[in-house]
Structure 1
Amino acid sequence: MINALKRAWANFRGFDLDGGTVPPLDGPLRPNAKLDTLPVLLRMDDIDNLTAQGDHVICSLHNDILTLSPTRSEGGAQTFEVTGRRDCGATVTSIASTGGHLALAVDGKGIVVERPGEEPRTIVADGLPKNCITAMTFADADTLFVAVGSARHAASDWKRDLMTKTASGSVWRIDLKTGGATQLASDLAFPSGIAVSAKSLLVSEAWRHRVLALSQDGSQQGFALSGLPAYPGRIIPAASGGFWLAMFAPRNPLVEFVLKEDDYRNRMVETIDPAHWIAPSLLAGRSFLEPIQGGTRKKLNMLKPWSPTFSTGLVVRCDETMGMLHSYHSRADGEVHGVTSLCETGGYLLVGARGSGKIVAIDELTQQAMA
């Protein structure tokens, strides 16, 4: 009776009892257009998984592993060029490296580990999924932590994982000496980023809009960040201390509403192409069939930078405890959307915007472009 009265009063006053309100972008997340002011170092559709290895950068492009080397354009500006390419035979969903060691998550094959002076080997362990490995990080040369986004869907089918309210993700610790794998956490809602801190293991749980803090043996679990206004993705440590966090898509009030309307959502998933769902995207506005083309999004055929959007660019600088310090944005009308990977090299942060197919770079000290 009391709950019914509370709900009636909430409906009358417009309160949100279901937690569907999207938190505002405020404080360290106050909107700006810093990502759009940076020069583009490389243009390549679907670029992902930036990882530094020596003087080069390793990244993925569907089935291929690319080696990027720094160079200068005709005008003298810093750019990258592709100096190596190899085919892994299936989609590469995640890359991690340390001290010359390289780990590649290849869909359907599992994790391929490459060590200097050794033949590559594939980790095969009981229970460890071979698909949808979304993020990896080395704790040391013999220990690899792995985030599996979903046991039901491929990494490329992340929209379906969200819109079907799946929570089948997991976190694993792999002993590279023995090849054994230990599950540290399960039933997670698409863990999409992982990093080792001094006291815990940080895991982005995208569909629950938070970053978990796990003990490295999985015995304890807490929250480093929660109630985020966007879907958190990959995390990397910053050379000067703290972390960088990528948020690959914004939360949207309309998407939050659809997630609560099960009949509508189920019919949408069953009958409509995923590209046209009311769902977040790495890059929106590519088709006239996408929802909410006008109304609050456009005026005089111009997209409002403050309009509700399904895609954006967002990188957050955090301290050692994941407290947010400041952020870099590409707003609704920007051109650096869908940031899925980050990489520090040469004193700069490389930002991989898979949605827009670009790599840009930030000098953290000056918060300016790479010269």
Structure 2
Amino acid sequence: MIGAIKRGWANFRGFDLTGSTVPPMDGPLRPNAKLDAAPVLLELADVDNLVSCGQQVLCSVGSDIHTLAAMTGDDGEGLSIGRSRAMGKPVTSMAAFGDLLAVAVEGEGIRVEGPDGASSELINPGQLDARCVTAMAFADRSTLLVAVGSERNPAHEWKRDLMTKTAAGSVWRVDIGTRSAVSIASGLAFPSGIIVSNGRVFVSEAWRHRVLSMGIDGSGQRIALGSLPAYPGRIAQASQGGFWLAMFAPRNPLVEFVLKEDAYRRRMIETIEPDYWIAPSHATGRSFLEPIQGGARKKLNMLKPWSPAWSTGLVVRCDKDMAMVRNYQSRADGAVHGVTSLCEVEGRLLVGAKGSGKIVAIHELAGHMA
């Protein structure tokens, strides 16, 4: 009763009981430009799903899977595309266990491949929605954990999923041998990253700005990391212990405000193209039609420090309990935005920035860029 009276009074006076504030980038998230200073190994538009499989490093671009090869040039070490193969439909996620590779193909299912793609098996349990597999992780060679971002929107419509305030995501345990799947968590707000460690499953829940921890059967669910200032995405194991966490877009107060204004938000969705919504993005500054342009965002060709940030680059180093230790950033005026995938190889972390179309390297042992 008291709550209803408070809400009524707040509506009448124009108070904001929920708040549109975003937690500050402070402590382990203190701003820096380390991603921009990191060496660029390869420029590849829309690069995604970096994964180490056996002795190879793979990535995806749309419906193609590329095998990356090390190369040495005038600018030092880098990567090049060794060979490519087409999957026919967009690749939304990949995971590896030794030389075993799992590939989620939008609308088709999950393909489990042997070394070099010599053997391929399609797994498509009827109850698992193959349109929006956002992340996968092997628990062992016969068990695959799968994060389904949404049952209502395909993976590429993640902005629509956020702006319609959908919470129709789930986590599944797939038995590769029997081709069966069991849901271990549901009602999640766009789970976008998953990893298994010491019998626990860590899941990034993007739209609730947190990372969950649960048992392999979904039991004992709790918040391992919460109140994040950005949307958490994929998680990678760190060879020195702990994890790497990618955050694919920043939160900002303007988006938080729009999420509460239902009538405005519905009209925006119905009448404007998604690229121009007041919403987070993998990359910005590509069109004058984007929101908050001109003098509201830049002056004398310099980005105003108080203008809303639609995209950034952010990688966070976490310990074994998912507590944040340090971060690597590309700030709002940087050039390594939209980090969606991570892959540690030979003592360095490869960072895939889908928004900027770059793969850069971080050296973990030294605690700074290679």
Partner residue in 2 for 1:25? 25
Partner residue in 2 for 1:91? 90
Partner residue in 2 for 1:365? 365
Partner residue in 1 for 2:179? 179
In the TM superposition, what is the alpha-carbon distance from 1:303 to its structure 2 partner?
1.2
Q: Is the 8 A contact 1:306 1:332 kept in 2?
A: no
Partner residue in 2 for 1:115? 114
In the aligned structure 1, how far is the partner of 2:13 from the partner of 2:241?
A: 45
In the aligned structure 2, how far is the partner of 1:13 from the partner of 1:78?
A: 61
Pairing of 1:247-262 with structure 2 (within 5 A):
247-262=247-262
Per the alignment, in what secondary structure is the counterpart of residue 41 of structure 2?
Answer: strand
In the TM superposition, what is the alpha-carbon distance from 1:295 to its structure 2 partner?
4.7
In the aligned structure 2, how far is the partner of 1:32 from the partner of 1:306?
A: 17
Instruction: Assess, with a 3 A threshold, how the Cα gap between structure 1 residues 225 and 296 changes in structure 2: closer, same or farther.
Output: farther
Per the alignment, in what secondary structure is the counterpart of residue 158 of structure 1?
Answer: helix
Q: Which stretch shifts more, 216-225 or 103-112? A: 216-225
Q: Give the residue type in structure 1 aligned to 2:125.
A: A
In the TM superposition, what is the alpha-carbon distance from 1:197 to its structure 2 partner?
1.9
Per the alignment, in what secondary structure is the counterpart of residue 131 of structure 1?
Answer: helix
In the aligned structure 2, how far is the partner of 1:337 from the partner of 1:234?
A: 15
Q: Is the 8 A contact 1:342 1:349 kept in 2?
A: yes
In the aligned structure 1, how far is the partner of 2:285 from the partner of 2:132?
A: 27
Instruction: Assess, with a 3 A threshold, how the Cα gap between structure 1 residues 368 and 306 changes in structure 2: closer, same or farther.
Output: farther
Q: Give the residue type in structure 1 aligned to 2:270.
A: E
In the TM superposition, what is the alpha-carbon distance from 1:122 to its structure 2 partner?
0.4
Q: Is the 8 A contact 2:347 2:365 kept in 1?
A: no
In the TM superposition, what is the alpha-carbon distance from 1:8 to its structure 2 partner?
7.8
Pairing of 1:40-79 with structure 2 (within 5 A):
40-75=40-75, 77-79=76-78
Per the alignment, in what secondary structure is the counterpart of residue 23 of structure 1?
Answer: coil
Instruction: Assess, with a 3 A threshold, how the Cα gap between structure 1 residues 347 and 13 changes in structure 2: closer, same or farther.
Output: farther
Q: Is the 8 A contact 1:55 1:69 kept in 2?
A: no
Instruction: Show CA shifts across 1:95-146 (max 9, x none).
Output: 0011100000001110000124963110022301121100000111111000
Spell out structure 1 runs of 4+ moving beyond 4 A: 4-16
In the TM superposition, what is the alpha-carbon distance from 1:30 to its structure 2 partner?
0.7
Aligned residues: 369
Q: Give the residue type in structure 1 aligned to 2:85.
A: R
Q: Is the 8 A contact 1:304 1:333 kept in 2?
A: no
Q: Give the residue type in structure 1 aligned to 2:172.
A: W
In the TM superposition, what is the alpha-carbon distance from 1:187 to its structure 2 partner?
1.2
Instruction: Show CA shifts across 1:136-173 (max 9, x none).
Output: 00111111000000111111110001111111111000
Per the alignment, in what secondary structure is the counterpart of residue 130 of structure 2?
Answer: coil
Partner residue in 2 for 1:34? 34
Q: If the length of structure 2 is used for normalisation, what is the TM-score?
A: 0.95
Q: Is the 8 A contact 2:64 2:90 kept in 1?
A: yes
Instruction: Show CA shifts across 1:47-77 (max 9, x none).
Output: 00000123321000101000001111124x1
Instruction: Show CA shifts across 1:307-355 (max 9, x none).
Output: 4211000000000000000001100100000000000001100000000
Instruction: Show CA shifts across 1:198-238 (max 9, x none).
Output: 14100000011111111111122110011110000000110
In the aligned structure 1, how far is the partner of 2:144 from the partner of 2:183?
A: 12
Q: Is the 8 A contact 2:213 2:221 kept in 1?
A: yes
In the aligned structure 2, how far is the partner of 1:79 from the partner of 1:12?
A: 60
Partner residue in 2 for 1:189? 189
In the aligned structure 1, how far is the partner of 2:263 from the partner of 2:306?
A: 30
In the TM superposition, what is the alpha-carbon distance from 1:38 to its structure 2 partner?
1.0
Q: Which runs of 5+ in 2 are unaligned?
A: none
In the aligned structure 1, how far is the partner of 2:279 from the partner of 2:306?
A: 18
Q: Does 1:312 align with 2:274?
A: no
Q: Is the 8 A contact 1:305 1:334 kept in 2?
A: no
Instruction: Show CA shifts across 1:224-273 (max 9, x none).
Output: 01111000000011000000000000001100000000000001001101
In the aligned structure 2, how far is the partner of 1:194 from the partner of 1:309?
A: 26
Q: Does 1:208 align with 2:208?
A: yes
RMSD: 1.9
Partner residue in 1 for 2:80? 81
Identical-pair percentage: 64
Per the alignment, in what secondary structure is the counterpart of residue 184 of structure 2?
Answer: strand
Instruction: Assess, with a 3 A threshold, how the Cα gap between structure 1 residues 50 and 305 changes in structure 2: closer, same or farther.
Output: farther
Q: Is the 8 A contact 2:131 2:154 kept in 1?
A: yes
Partner residue in 2 for 1:301? 301
Partner residue in 2 for 1:169? 169
In the TM superposition, what is the alpha-carbon distance from 1:293 to its structure 2 partner?
1.3
Pairing of 1:132-143 with structure 2 (within 5 A):
132-143=132-143
Q: If the length of structure 1 is used for normalisation, what is the TM-score?
A: 0.95
